[in-house]
Structure 1
Amino acid sequence: MHLDKTPATRGLPRERPVLLAYLRWILLVTLVAVASACALSWALHHPSFESEIRVLVEPAEPRVGAAVAPDMETERQVAISGVVTAAAAQQVGVSATYLQEHASVTVPAASTVLVIQFDDTSAASAQRYAQAIADAYVDYRKGQAATLSAASMPTAATTPNYPVNGAAGLALGLIVGVGSALLRDRSDDRLRGPRDFVERTELPILATVPVRRRRWRRASLLPVLRDPSSTAGEAYRQVSGKVERAARQRRKLTTVTLFTSPSASDGVAHVAANTAIALAQSGHRVVLVECDVRVPRLAGLFDIPSGPGVARALVGRVPLNQALQASEVENLSLLPAGSPGPLGPGELFTFGAVGRLLSAIPADIDHVVVLTPPVLDAAETAVVAEHAHLLVLVAVIGATTRRDLEGAAAELSGGPSSLFGGVLLKAGRGGRAARRSQPLPAEWDDDMGPTAPEDDGVAEETPGTTAIDRRGRA
């Protein structure tokens, strides 16, 4: 049986615009640029003060005829010439070259006024040198020029101009910040959100589970059991409810639901465990089977001994009823991975061995929930998936890559089982996730790490029948 795999994205929240998603990054880059511009201005430029004095140039009075208006461009050049600056230099005790380099003379439009400006690192020196140049020019013109006022005393430095430099840094920071945000967004292959998941896999979202990142406690890993009123607990009950409805549509005795992920550290064990608990709390008889012998987590998650587990049951070393363990949850039995012994996962999880294991599960079991290693990293996941009725893909927003997600969906869709949907984990402070989450913390791996194996011996496989087909495999 195959369910509809082309759900519409209508109703799913749209991803935040790129610039809004990278707002913190853009603000950080802009702030750094502004601070750098101001710091460089302070480091590379000493404070400079500018003094100004105005000199009125009188028309020349010839002996015969009318007065002749002065040529102000000529007068401007004379005011800054070596003749004038040399006389001023003798007065203030500096070189004429220094005065010429730091002085400027302008002429306002339609006027006969020279505006002499002088900049220096000292306000008093700037005033003194500007006055000296003006006095030297007036003396040179012998009655044809006069100062309109004394040279001004600067009250504030004119350079560096921090507002201008800060504005330049702001513009540069915005350009670099926005450009780098767009570049990062284009090169970032991580999953963005529910809409992105649906567009990449064409699978419906069963639930989005918020994952708290602030305080990691063992109890928070099983919210359905420890904190049933939490948002995460409700999300897992949504998953179990949809699995129940799909099982009723099958009208068979036992439904095998497999949980897997594209890559490691995607929280599959916790999603499968919480879903199994929710199914058991709804009154169904459930067996939770761990098929990840590489990194077993089930024993640590439920605080039970690893026991003989799946590994020995697969090769017939122990019967299934001895490998199954009771849990603190009514109606829920556990089959942890156990010790694989000398055989590798590829040798343990053959098609026939998996079929015999599932066929040995009592017929009165309503649901078999199977957790497997990442489908792209472990060949046995595809083998186990052939015996499942429903396949659920687990991904982490902001951690699982789109490439891996598409590859996992393609790998699973090629088998006979139905790709049922996806469960998204959304990591964020206090359970409220940002668009750019981080991979799930190490506590999801380390705290629930593998329990020490109790035995390293395994037996040869024994023949059996695949009664799982008898119980409802289409």
Structure 2
Amino acid sequence: MTLDEFLRMLRRRWRILLAVVLGCALAGLVAGLATSSQHTATAQLVVAPSGETPMANASLAPSLLSSSGMQTYAELAGSERVAAAVIAELDLDEPADELAERIVARVPTDTYVIDLTVTAVDAETAALLGNTAAAQASALIDSLFGERGSGLSATVAAEADPATATVPSWWRHLPVGAVVGLLGGLGLAVIREILDQRVRDSADVHRTFGVEPLARVTVSATPGRTAPLPADSADGAVSEPIRRLHAALRSGGRTPRSVLITGVSGQEASSTIAVSLAQLAATAGEKVLLVEGDLRAPRLAGRLGCPQQPGLADYLRGTTGIESVVIDASPQVTTPNGRCPSPVYRRGTTRLGVVTAGSNDGTPVDLLGSGAFAGFLDEVAAVYDTVIVDGPAVLPSSDSVVLAGRAEATVLVVEAGRTRRDEVDQALAQLAAVGAGTAGVVLAELPARTARGQARAMVRGNGGG
């Protein structure tokens, strides 16, 4: 992971990192408050030659006073054996293993001293336990020295004093908890980043598929029922990226006469981009026909404020002619007050035509794969500079795959923060299987609420067939 990728990960995962840091810091604070009522008192033992005991085995003294030997005496001083002796002497009602957990013995570096620290609820009890433990530890260690005739003894050098008993600071665990939370939060963020397969930005598109997106479009709120195509209603946040997409489709020497705009697993973002592209091309002076290719869940008529009327499906069944399905939605003739324009086919003069899905009886994939649809594209391509087909998502059904086989170019819309990389791989593989000319990828960014609403709408749409 490069530095840039790490910084992008932090920007995306900062909520997780902050939550873990705050949680661990709070846990440290609680632990500090819980232990602040505990007192600690320390007694000292010193191991040195005894003037009263002869050194029968004087040669053992150096090894007995080594650092490993001192560590062994410290372990004995804090053992359950010493704790049991303390309990017996003071007649305490406490298990030896629990008391042993509150007795800590350590040896300062390069010394013959054992610091014996005991924790209790008050200073007097801590000092009493410390002094008793020191006496019992001294007796235990002396018995071992006596058995070996080492001439050494463990003497209580300093008794625990209630006046010097210490109380831990309540805040001392707070920075420790924060540091632990920072490390844990970073680890969790990295794991989430590795496991998260969603495409989130242009860098993800480039890193995963080796190409830069044709455009990066921020899609705003769910469109209403008013006509989306008049020139003065262009969304500034969308228009400039759509201009780049429009220019990209015309680069390379040959402009495609038919373009399919389709999504991977969701539909609404691709529809918005298709409508915006048709509007921009029309306002640029081109003759454009926008065709709704989603016969399963049509929406375009509602966006135009039109009731259900004959459309593409009806034409493909042969129940109506092309003059009855093309709506003249040119900016200069769009009807005021959001009223539905009348279907009218002005051959060679319609600047922006719209064909809605029509009635959704029958099997859409059969209609779209028929010769009638190929004939429809040939007929309208002779009149319009560009035919833009707003197709359904690739993965939920095979309709867009069939449409991609008919269109000269296909633009795949990937929704940032929602579409997974494996889904894009599957969609591209299905398009490649029919020889679709994939022009590139458009990255659509949706607000969180819109994305959640779209997910629910898509579930309902799929459930309805």
Q: TM-score, normalised by structure 2?
A: 0.67
Residue number among 418, 440, 451 corresponding to 1:440 in the alignment: 451
Residue number among 366, 369, 372 corresponding to 1:350 in the alignment: 369
Determine the structure 2 residue equivalent to 1:123. 123
Q: How far is 1:378 from its partner?
A: 2.5
CA contact under 8 A between 1:34 and 1:166: conserved in structure 2?
A: yes
Determine the structure 1 residue equivalent to 2:345. none
Q: How far is 1:370 from its partner?
A: 0.6
Residue number among 389, 405, 419 corresponding to 1:386 in the alignment: 405
Q: How far is 1:196 from its partner?
A: 3.4
Alignment-mate amino acid for residue 192 of structure 2:
R
Residue number among 173, 179, 193 corresponding to 1:170 in the alignment: 179
Determine the structure 2 residue equivalent to 1:182. 190
1:381-460 correspondence runs (5 A): 381-415=400-434, 417-428=436-447, 440-442=451-453, 446=457
Determine the structure 2 residue equivalent to 1:47. 37
Q: How far is 1:250 from its partner?
A: 3.4
Residue number among 354, 357, 370 corresponding to 1:334 in the alignment: 354
SS of 1:442's equivalent in the other structure is helix
| Structure 1 position 233 matched with structure 2 position 252 | no
Greater mean alpha carbon deviation, residues 345-354 or residues 271-280 = 345-354
Determine the structure 2 residue equivalent to 1:286. 288
In the alignment, the residues of structure 2 paired with residue 81 and residue 408 of structure 1 have an alpha-carbon distance, to the nearest angstrom, of 72
In the alignment, the residues of structure 1 paired with residue 128 and residue 368 of structure 2 have an alpha-carbon distance, to the nearest angstrom, of 94
Alignment-mate amino acid for residue 289 of structure 2:
V
Residues 13-41 of structure 1 show CA distances to partners (whole Å, capped at 9, x for unaligned) of x7555753434323423433343355467
Q: 1:152 to 1:220 in 2, by over 3 A?
A: farther
Residues 165-202 of structure 1 show CA distances to partners (whole Å, capped at 9, x for unaligned) of 8626733x455434433333333222243243345555
Q: 1:282 to 1:223 in 2, by over 3 A?
A: same
The alignment of Structure 1 onto Structure 2 pairs a total of residues equal to 399
Residues 233-252 of structure 1 show CA distances to partners (whole Å, capped at 9, x for unaligned) of 21112222333556xx437x
SS of 2:414's equivalent in the other structure is strand
| Structure 1 position 363 matched with structure 2 position 382 | yes
Alignment-mate amino acid for residue 237 of structure 2:
T
CA contact under 8 A between 1:224 and 1:236: conserved in structure 2?
A: no
SS of 2:294's equivalent in the other structure is coil
Residues 188-222 of structure 1 show CA distances to partners (whole Å, capped at 9, x for unaligned) of 2222432433455555522100234xx65639995
Determine the structure 1 residue equivalent to 2:321. 319
| Structure 1 position 35 matched with structure 2 position 26 | yes
In the alignment, the residues of structure 2 paired with residue 381 and residue 112 of structure 1 have an alpha-carbon distance, to the nearest angstrom, of 83
CA contact under 8 A between 2:134 and 2:156: conserved in structure 1?
A: no
Alignment-mate amino acid for residue 337 of structure 1:
A
In the alignment, the residues of structure 2 paired with residue 56 and residue 202 of structure 1 have an alpha-carbon distance, to the nearest angstrom, of 71
Q: 1:220 to 1:168 in 2, by over 3 A?
A: farther
Determine the structure 1 residue equivalent to 2:219. 211
Q: 1:113 to 1:340 in 2, by over 3 A?
A: closer
| Structure 1 position 309 matched with structure 2 position 311 | yes
Q: 1:312 to 1:124 in 2, by over 3 A?
A: same
Q: 1:351 to 1:195 in 2, by over 3 A?
A: farther
Q: How far is 1:267 from its partner?
A: 1.4
Identity %, equivalent residues: 23
SS of 2:426's equivalent in the other structure is helix
Determine the structure 2 residue equivalent to 1:463. none
Q: 1:271 to 1:221 in 2, by over 3 A?
A: farther
In the alignment, the residues of structure 1 paired with residue 7 and residue 110 of structure 2 have an alpha-carbon distance, to the nearest angstrom, of 56
CA contact under 8 A between 1:302 and 1:327: conserved in structure 2?
A: no
Residues 279-322 of structure 1 show CA distances to partners (whole Å, capped at 9, x for unaligned) of 11111121110010111121122222231111101111111111
Determine the structure 2 residue equivalent to 1:250. 254
Residue number among 256, 268, 271 corresponding to 2:270 in the alignment: 268
Q: How far is 1:366 from its partner?
A: 1.6
In the alignment, the residues of structure 2 paired with residue 130 and residue 29 of structure 1 have an alpha-carbon distance, to the nearest angstrom, of 39
SS of 1:365's equivalent in the other structure is coil
Q: 1:232 to 1:224 in 2, by over 3 A?
A: farther
Q: How far is 1:272 from its partner?
A: 0.4
In the alignment, the residues of structure 2 paired with residue 285 and residue 109 of structure 1 have an alpha-carbon distance, to the nearest angstrom, of 89
Q: How far is 1:412 from its partner?
A: 2.4
Q: 1:147 to 1:386 in 2, by over 3 A?
A: closer
In the alignment, the residues of structure 1 paired with residue 392 and residue 160 of structure 2 have an alpha-carbon distance, to the nearest angstrom, of 88
Q: 1:88 to 1:151 in 2, by over 3 A?
A: farther
In the alignment, the residues of structure 2 paired with residue 275 and residue 128 of structure 1 have an alpha-carbon distance, to the nearest angstrom, of 85
In the alignment, the residues of structure 2 paired with residue 245 and residue 56 of structure 1 have an alpha-carbon distance, to the nearest angstrom, of 88
CA contact under 8 A between 1:52 and 1:151: conserved in structure 2?
A: no
In the alignment, the residues of structure 2 paired with residue 408 and residue 81 of structure 1 have an alpha-carbon distance, to the nearest angstrom, of 72
In the alignment, the residues of structure 2 paired with residue 147 and residue 250 of structure 1 have an alpha-carbon distance, to the nearest angstrom, of 95
Determine the structure 2 residue equivalent to 1:462. none
Greater mean alpha carbon deviation, residues 192-201 or residues 108-117 = 108-117
Q: How far is 1:344 from its partner?
A: 1.1
Q: 1:444 to 1:230 in 2, by over 3 A?
A: farther
SS of 2:406's equivalent in the other structure is coil
1:188-207 correspondence runs (5 A): 188-198=196-206, 200-201=208-209, 205-207=213-215
Determine the structure 2 residue equivalent to 1:152. 163
Q: 1:49 to 1:340 in 2, by over 3 A?
A: same
Determine the structure 1 residue equivalent to 2:341. none
In the alignment, the residues of structure 1 paired with residue 176 and residue 227 of structure 2 have an alpha-carbon distance, to the nearest angstrom, of 50
Q: How far is 1:261 from its partner?
A: 2.0
Q: How far is 1:334 from its partner?
A: 1.1
SS of 1:321's equivalent in the other structure is helix
In the alignment, the residues of structure 1 paired with residue 357 and residue 415 of structure 2 have an alpha-carbon distance, to the nearest angstrom, of 24
Greater mean alpha carbon deviation, residues 222-231 or residues 343-352 = 222-231
CA contact under 8 A between 1:49 and 1:121: conserved in structure 2?
A: yes
CA contact under 8 A between 1:291 and 1:372: conserved in structure 2?
A: yes
Q: 1:130 to 1:187 in 2, by over 3 A?
A: closer
